[in-house]
Structure 1
Amino acid sequence: MRQTPATTPLVDFQVYEPVLTPSGTSDQYGCIYTQTLMSYVFSNSYGAPFVGEYTPPPCSFNRVTMNFTVQSHGRQFDRLGIMYLGDIEVFRTSTAEPTANGIIWSYVKEMEQYNALWGTNQKVIFDLGNLVNSVYTGSFATELVATFFTVPDTQSTADIILPISAELSSESMGSAYSVPGQNATNFYTLPPNVERAVISLSACGQIDEEFWYTNTFNSDVNTFESTAGTLYGFSPFREVQLLIDGNLAGVSWPFPIIFTGGIVPGFWRPIVGIDAFDLRQHEIDVTPFLPLLCDGASHTFEIRVAGLNDDGAGHATLSEIVGSYWVVTGTIFLFLGQDGFVTTGTSPSIDTPLPEIQISSSITTNSTGANETLTYNTAVTRDISITSTVKTSNGSRKASWTQSLSYSNFNSLTDQGFVQLTIQNTTGSDLSSSGYANTYSYPLTVNSSFSVDAAGEVGINGTLTRGLDYNVYGPSVFPSGIQTFNITTPSFFSPEGALAHQNIQLSTNLPFFSGALLSTTQTGSAEYFSGVNSSYSFGTTTQDFDFKGAEANAPDVTYELYHRHVMAVNSTIAEDEQTLAGETFAVPIARAEENVPAPAFDGFGVRALLGRGPGLPKAGLMGAGGS
């Protein structure tokens, strides 16, 4: 059936657990204060971020939420955005791709992990590079509002927060490092009385590295040079490394983020990819290093990104560089003990053997002798263990940080490089002596094909299944989502995000939770077409999302707190059911938009398009899914 084109904006959204924020203006626990941090339109904004000033609210608070709302219309790539308080990254996001009739979305984020920053005046920098011209007409009109309030039960937050960044806020610029190309190293002399230290890593690939999990080995990059073009190298494996004084302190094996221009744009209207509006940071407990770090000397903190170098004979080692490029920062969270006390202890025992790596690849040719297929496999495992004895103002204890990770990837390029199948999974387990534990799994299957005819008309077809399982127990630096449900007076709060404006009050009979268990899966199929006079993309995507709490006194007992099943067909929400703490709610259905325009194919290489989504700018400017 032919649908009537809509005239109202399409409401895009990321599926995530609701964030409860206070309603009204004040409460028995203190004031409720809101402050607009940014109201700004990003047009031609490369190298010209928003710069504003934040002043603390005129009342005490221990919780902060932030609402980011964006509107756009026209044609545009998706773009990467990073918010800083001074030199410290506090929020990494990306944009949806607009339509002719416009789009709008909001995302609500818990931000109390940065209370040490919110307590003082800050320079707010929001770096969202965008380019507007006669073809790509979409600007991004944004509003960022923070809400400050107090709840009676809270978890402790860091006393001091330091950046691992380029520290460019004094020049009113964003402070992310670009790796390779920049040395992502900072030097600090830490306070002597630190009793716990955690470092988070924020990293995502761009340009040649945006879809790193489809990359091949360096020895195979020219397999289809005469047909599909040069492939991207350094293998489909990536490791983000944290080094302290040159010693490996922990790693992050990245989640395969897919921005809204990725693979095929029709996947992501109006449901965007997992974590696309809020790129997750990975935390590493470096408390075992405190006897070294609290000695009054300067120490180095460095972030590197590694792939694999291969010898062409089935052997590989970690590479010192990867392709261009990764956007990285780190954040150091310090928890202090008593004033005047000097933390001491034993030197850390660092057990970080090289990962075990297995690779293989094979090429077949057709009757003419031309390369027809390339198939390659990668498997990597790694174990990390760092321990010491730490003596703080609270006594002597053993401090430890361990990681156990496993990775597998299968890629098959057929039809002389025009069709690609990727099957990948990453699993990991992180454990700290603080009681923090994190287990995670990132399964991904993507199948995409590219075609172009003599008239220059381009088509892409794709199917995918991807997931995120992410379980957090104990004292995470970042809110795990469980804090919302552990509030003793839930009637004070109303849900924001997916269940906004539903006027829901949580039951006061919920148990206290010590763990947050998140599991979500997206499946879909989509097509893209770019002709002489038009381009569009459409598709079907289904997402199931489960968020559970693990009871504090019985961690094996879980309680479903939020569930959502949603299906989008050609930009229309066809199914949407949500359940919050046992109560199911109907959700308004979004409207359709016919033949949603997509960025046009600009005639450059197949490898810049196949598996990546259309319309990568020729200028090589920083952005997401199209830069």
Structure 2
Amino acid sequence: MVCYFFQHSKMLLHLVFLALQLHLAFADDSPLEVFQVEAPLRATYEGASCQQVVVQHEFAASYGTPYVGTYSPPKDCEFSTTIFNISVTSSGINYDRLGLLYFGDIEVWRMTTAMPVRTGIFWNYQKDVTVFDTLIRSEQTVIMGLDNIYNSVFTGTYNVTITALYFNDGEALTPAEMILPISTESSCDNKISVISLPDGDGATSIVFPRNTERAVVSILASGNGAEEFWYRNVLTEHINTFNNTNLSGYSPFREVQLLIDGELAGASWPFPIVFTGGISPGLWVPIVGIKTYDLPSFEIDISPWLGVLCDGTEHKLEIKVVGYDSETTLGTVGSNWWVSGSVFVWIDHHGSQTIGTPVTSNLPPPDFHSSSQFTTDFGLNASLWSELTARRSLSHTSSVTTSTGTRQLTFSQDLSYGNLQNYSASSFNKTLWSQSKGTTSFTSFFNDTLIENSFAYPISFTTDLINPEDFQTTNSTLVAWLERSAQSSTVPILSYLTNQASAQVPGVVTTRQKGSGTYFWNNTYYEFAGAIDPAIGTNGTTEQWYSSKGFLGEYGRHVQAVDGYEPVLILDGEHDHVIQMT
């Protein structure tokens, strides 16, 4: 990989571009860094109080065989912040893989891998796991699942090292005293505790401490298999539009729900993850998609429910994933959504019983509108155009009394969604635009004001499959174009309650990716995956703009990559620098 950083004129950019073109003629077979554009977590990663390896394992033929190890907290080491660094190397041929890291029955990190090439790849990524402080300071069974195929065709293994870095930042943390799982609780059998929905059971019963002061649920959820590209699915009644099996149903809408004793407490309209083999693999080498190495969780403040939850009896917390159904409004989805939840509990150490008024809830049903049009050719369906929009608002409020007095606590959401799709050429050509956006509000720790978080996740792409009728016997060509963004302004609830000093400044992130790629393949494609010659593999151009502003200051980057397998061209633009890091 060739990488240049600079802060000068566009003329210099042009000269560097020419120099890189000349350099490419002599490119070697060095492993390729496949990276995610993200602001650094710290101004420097030097000066750790201590560090230790948490996972070191090669995932080869690892389907159903996770890594299992033991974690012990560091001794004689003062620290307030914990960061996990993952380092991965791979070479050969393989799919992208989903990785899940558990401490016992609690999932602390979900990531997906880059796709390897013959000459090898590597990447590093850092995740702040300070919110799991109560786990990090105790003995834990470490279980990491990374289901991988390894045989004469799929020759890529994943060599994974996760290292814990402990920093003493001199901050007084207020971490959750308890973290309880919503999972299969399979760690005693040396298995990952992820729940597969809709086939599995997403419910668990919990007895909360009577003196709970705050409680927050964090949920990880990602569609896999038949649900990997849920946002380009069609209404179930349209799956046979083209008399083939190329369309998936249950609509392009998904809602991940948290229910407390059967009542909806909060919902997520999830981020559209694109794995590194998704849409067109050439788009994601060497720049991977947004949030690839750290799949996003979402948080629901269930503190307004404490008057109910602190009665000393069991309460049912359940995760569900639903789609839009034109007859029942909300219905089932395809297999398989992998979900897990963690319930973070803060204790009122000066109180013995938390009480509260009944929860006042505003839960109108979601509002959906859908429409579709068809064209025909010689009596057969030739194209399908469809539109689906949705809105949902909800809120829960109650007065909760602890040893510090009585406060009114509120959690509310306002969500909107839109999806436009056009399928043509018997569904082999696809065009999509989709966006979910919304706001979530929770009550401040210091007073009764509401802290509002906002997000917007637009994505659009086209894919055209040339000569689709021949793809079983001769090379076909998949031509793809994509543009997507992630915009957010957030004070994460867990970070805010864990480290109130650093989390009071909203983190504002705006990033945008656009790219195009050509993918040459047939039913024996994987014999050629990762080849140096793009004519028998894949190629593409991807560009990304990134800017963020938060507790550490401001950060910006612009990066472009061309034909990422080999040769590699990476252009780092004028804004690829830290504007201010304190």
TM-score (norm 2): 0.88
Between the aligned partners of 1:336 and 1:230, the Cα distance in structure 2 is 52
Match in the other structure for 2:356: 345
1:53 shift after superposition: 0.4
Between the aligned partners of 2:497 and 2:212, the Cα distance in structure 1 is 24
Check conservation: 1:113, 1:479, Cα contact below 8 A. no
Match in the other structure for 1:275: 291
Between the aligned partners of 1:79 and 1:205, the Cα distance in structure 2 is 13
Q: Could you tell me the percent identity over the aligned residues?
A: 38
Matched, 1:416 2:412: no
Match in the other structure for 1:62: 80
Residues 570-610 of structure 1, C-alpha deviations (whole Å, 9 max, x = no match):
11243214221348xxxxxxxxxxxxxxxxxxxxxxxxxxx
1:25 shift after superposition: 6.0
1:257 shift after superposition: 0.5
Deviates more, 1:14-23 or 1:460-469: 14-23
Residue 385 of structure 1 aligns to a residue whose secondary structure is: strand
Residues 92-126 of structure 1, C-alpha deviations (whole Å, 9 max, x = no match):
00100000000000001111000010111000111
Match in the other structure for 2:579: 581
Residue 116 of structure 1 aligns to a residue whose secondary structure is: helix
Gap regions ≥5 residues in structure 1: 27-31, 488-511, 551-558, 584-627
Match in the other structure for 2:556: 563
Residues 329-354 of structure 1, C-alpha deviations (whole Å, 9 max, x = no match):
01111111125521001111122111
Matched, 1:388 2:404: no
Between the aligned partners of 1:217 and 1:517, the Cα distance in structure 2 is 35
The partner residue of 2:385 within 363, 375, 380 is 375
Q: CA 1:217–1:133 in structure 2 vs 1: closer, same or farther (change >3 Å)? A: same
1:209 shift after superposition: 0.7
The partner residue of 1:38 within 49, 55, 58 is 55
The partner residue of 2:40 within 1, 18, 22 is 18
1:438 shift after superposition: 1.3
Matched, 1:117 2:140: no
Residue 188 of structure 2 aligns to a residue whose secondary structure is: helix
Check conservation: 1:19, 1:481, Cα contact below 8 A. no
1:481 shift after superposition: 13
Between the aligned partners of 2:43 and 2:74, the Cα distance in structure 1 is 17
Match in the other structure for 1:8: 30
Matched, 1:364 2:375: yes
1:228-247 pair list within 5 angstroms: 229-247=245-263
Q: CA 1:480–1:446 in structure 2 vs 1: closer, same or farther (change >3 Å)? A: farther
Match in the other structure for 1:537: 538
Matched, 1:53 2:64: no
Match in the other structure for 1:468: 486
Match in the other structure for 1:225: 243
Check conservation: 2:80, 2:171, Cα contact below 8 A. no
Check conservation: 1:480, 1:516, Cα contact below 8 A. no
Between the aligned partners of 1:128 and 1:467, the Cα distance in structure 2 is 28
Between the aligned partners of 2:376 and 2:172, the Cα distance in structure 1 is 63
Q: CA 1:439–1:9 in structure 2 vs 1: closer, same or farther (change >3 Å)? A: same
Match in the other structure for 2:439: 429
Between the aligned partners of 1:3 and 1:54, the Cα distance in structure 2 is 47
Residues 400-422 of structure 1, C-alpha deviations (whole Å, 9 max, x = no match):
11100000000000112111111
Between the aligned partners of 2:410 and 2:556, the Cα distance in structure 1 is 35
Check conservation: 2:99, 2:145, Cα contact below 8 A. yes
Matched, 1:255 2:274: no
Check conservation: 2:351, 2:403, Cα contact below 8 A. no
Check conservation: 2:80, 2:173, Cα contact below 8 A. no
Q: CA 1:25–1:308 in structure 2 vs 1: closer, same or farther (change >3 Å)? A: closer
Deviates more, 1:524-533 or 1:69-78: 524-533
Between the aligned partners of 2:225 and 2:145, the Cα distance in structure 1 is 18
Between the aligned partners of 1:459 and 1:560, the Cα distance in structure 2 is 45
Between the aligned partners of 2:46 and 2:436, the Cα distance in structure 1 is 44
Give the partner amino acid of 1:574. I
1:476 shift after superposition: 2.3
Check conservation: 2:175, 2:498, Cα contact below 8 A. no
Check conservation: 1:201, 1:252, Cα contact below 8 A. no
Residue 505 of structure 2 aligns to a residue whose secondary structure is: strand
1:184 shift after superposition: 0.5
Match in the other structure for 1:303: 319
Between the aligned partners of 1:115 and 1:78, the Cα distance in structure 2 is 30
1:147 shift after superposition: 1.2
Matched, 1:318 2:330: yes
Between the aligned partners of 2:294 and 2:45, the Cα distance in structure 1 is 24
The partner residue of 2:514 within 519, 523, 545 is 523
Residues 225-280 of structure 1, C-alpha deviations (whole Å, 9 max, x = no match):
24xx3411111000000001101000000000001000000000000000010001
Give the partner amino acid of 2:520. F
Between the aligned partners of 1:154 and 1:210, the Cα distance in structure 2 is 41
Between the aligned partners of 1:536 and 1:524, the Cα distance in structure 2 is 17
Between the aligned partners of 1:240 and 1:232, the Cα distance in structure 2 is 19
Gap regions ≥5 residues in structure 2: 1-20, 445-449, 529-535
Match in the other structure for 2:7: none
The partner residue of 2:190 within 150, 172, 187 is 172
Between the aligned partners of 2:482 and 2:579, the Cα distance in structure 1 is 30
1:584-599 pair list within 5 angstroms: none
Give the partner amino acid of 1:580. V
Q: CA 1:561–1:573 in structure 2 vs 1: closer, same or farther (change >3 Å)? A: farther
Match in the other structure for 2:6: none
Matched, 1:547 2:548: yes
1:21 shift after superposition: 7.3
Q: CA 1:417–1:566 in structure 2 vs 1: closer, same or farther (change >3 Å)? A: same
Between the aligned partners of 1:482 and 1:161, the Cα distance in structure 2 is 16
Between the aligned partners of 2:553 and 2:129, the Cα distance in structure 1 is 24
Between the aligned partners of 1:513 and 1:544, the Cα distance in structure 2 is 26
Between the aligned partners of 1:379 and 1:349, the Cα distance in structure 2 is 28
Match in the other structure for 2:168: 150
1:61 shift after superposition: 2.1
1:458 shift after superposition: 2.2
CA RMSD of aligned residues (A): 2.1
Residues 112-147 of structure 1, C-alpha deviations (whole Å, 9 max, x = no match):
000010111000111110010111100000101001
Between the aligned partners of 2:299 and 2:240, the Cα distance in structure 1 is 37
1:24 shift after superposition: 5.8
Q: CA 1:140–1:23 in structure 2 vs 1: closer, same or farther (change >3 Å)? A: closer
Deviates more, 1:286-295 or 1:444-453: 444-453
Match in the other structure for 2:108: 90
Match in the other structure for 1:496: none
Matched, 1:99 2:117: yes
Between the aligned partners of 1:480 and 1:156, the Cα distance in structure 2 is 7
Residues 535-568 of structure 1, C-alpha deviations (whole Å, 9 max, x = no match):
4111000010110138xxxxxxxx9611010001
Residues 440-470 of structure 1, C-alpha deviations (whole Å, 9 max, x = no match):
0001111111233544312211101100011
Match in the other structure for 2:460: 445
Q: CA 1:448–1:127 in structure 2 vs 1: closer, same or farther (change >3 Å)? A: same
Match in the other structure for 2:532: none
Residue 97 of structure 1 aligns to a residue whose secondary structure is: coil
Deviates more, 1:200-209 or 1:95-104: 200-209
Q: CA 1:24–1:236 in structure 2 vs 1: closer, same or farther (change >3 Å)? A: closer
Q: CA 1:82–1:156 in structure 2 vs 1: closer, same or farther (change >3 Å)? A: same
Between the aligned partners of 1:574 and 1:195, the Cα distance in structure 2 is 50
Aligned length: 535
Matched, 1:189 2:182: no
Between the aligned partners of 2:423 and 2:401, the Cα distance in structure 1 is 55
Residue 222 of structure 1 aligns to a residue whose secondary structure is: coil
Residue 493 of structure 2 aligns to a residue whose secondary structure is: coil
Residue 19 of structure 1 aligns to a residue whose secondary structure is: coil
The partner residue of 2:412 within 395, 402, 409 is 402
Give the partner amino acid of 2:420. F
Match in the other structure for 1:591: none
Between the aligned partners of 1:462 and 1:3, the Cα distance in structure 2 is 27
1:151 shift after superposition: 1.1
